[in-house]
Structure 1
Amino acid sequence: MNHTAWADINLTALTHNLATVRSLAPHSRVVAMIKADAYGHGLTAIAKALAGKADKLGVARFQEAVALRDRGINSPLLLMGTLLNHETLQWCANNNVAITLHEGNQLPLLLTSQLDHPLEVWLKADTGMNRLGLSADEFTQALSSLQKDSRFRLKALTHFSSADESSSPITQQQIKRFATLTSLAPDMERSLANSAGIIAWPESHADWVRPGIMLYGDNPTTAIETDLKAVMSLRARVIAIKDIRAGDSV
């Protein structure tokens, strides 16, 4: 006997989950996160399924953005990670790829870049995640410097550390800190909510939400039910193999 296993990817479930995101955050635009090979579901297939349905697609690495453009996917992209250089910044500006400024030492690179087209820059504030993000002083400095430069289109984001807890005081503090920082530019579009924020913290929805794991059917909260459907299912099949005598060709 031989066993064969494979993963089925249900794109109907994927678009259903995106519709669930929109029903929970009806006044927000959506950055659909497809980083890490779309959470193991297949970068290209998921990107094609979400193209034209999500407002942006979010990736973590520059190479993911290049791969999508090489495969003919023209959806607006948001690059969440990767330290860039002058060449890659120029490529992003030319290919409708927004970038994230999450370290203060990236600011001089941006200000000295030579760009043929405007570049969308999302300023990532560290409001309590303590992983990546600008400190309050770095955020204020970056905002002040980049606001004066017509090459840049600014947005702001932060990332929750404990949004899966629906009454977390940490999340409440993060929302307040982010509101204080972004009050310096009240017309700037903002994004706070990851999957857990979308489900558990409606006050965090703002202009943009960034669903990740919930797009693929997983609810990161413990106490709030949602109508999400699993996108991946594992299948197995048992294959009977006839006895092979010694000397038979195979």
Structure 2
Amino acid sequence: MSSKIYFITGSSRGIGLELVKQLAAKGNTVIASARNPEGSAELQKLVDDKKVFSVKLDVQSDASVKAAVDKVNEISPEGIDVLINNSGIIAPKPSVSHTAKPELWSDIYETNVVGVVRVTQHFLPVLRKKDTRQVINIGSDSGSLELANRADLNAPYHCSKAALNMFTRCLSHDLQNEKFTIVSIHPGWVITDMGGKEAALTTEDSVASMVKVFEGYTQKDNGWYGNWKGERMPW
């Protein structure tokens, strides 16, 4: 399989960092971004400015995203094949629907939804330089309305992931004539700072499975929502 050029948000730790490791190990070029990439010793161990690069990016800042686009254009003037929107935050527990403060909802949405929209819109010209044109949104089973069937859910987070799913669907329809592939994938319940120590999957296992799914994406998968095993999920 031919190598690709990936741009990944939220790459300083957790799933994002593991994506950098595994995608680079497969011979791909990876441009890893984070708010403070120099502050991640593990990320800097991977950066060689040949196959792995790091770029500063704050998804909540329009100026920061524009600067990141400029840097990516310097690193890879031929464009990128795949944008992976991995950045995300979760609300502290308990954050239920009838008591979580509106300011908290706004903060969660600014990163998990608006941040993804901002990055995607600014990077579309970079993606259009190549024929692959894939946007992979790291979603969650929390975004499934059908699976949200119990009380005391982390409402701001769940709602933000449902909104991310809808953005995925909207974008997939709006860009289908340009032969884009836009998907949302649930990585599983993963042992990270966000997922917690009681989670079922290691980052290594989750990412290894997701990368296999990534490698199989074609334009026929445009608008797909599924999990790390390649199984479709209910919206």
**Structure with greater helix share of residues:** 2
Going by fraction, where is strand more abundant, 1 or 2? 1
When the two structures are superposed, what TM-score results if normalisation uses the length of structure 1? 0.36
TM-score normalised by length of structure 2: 0.38
Of the two, which has the highest radius of gyration?
1
With a CA cutoff of 8 Å and minimum separation of 6, indicate the structure with the bigger relative contact order: 1
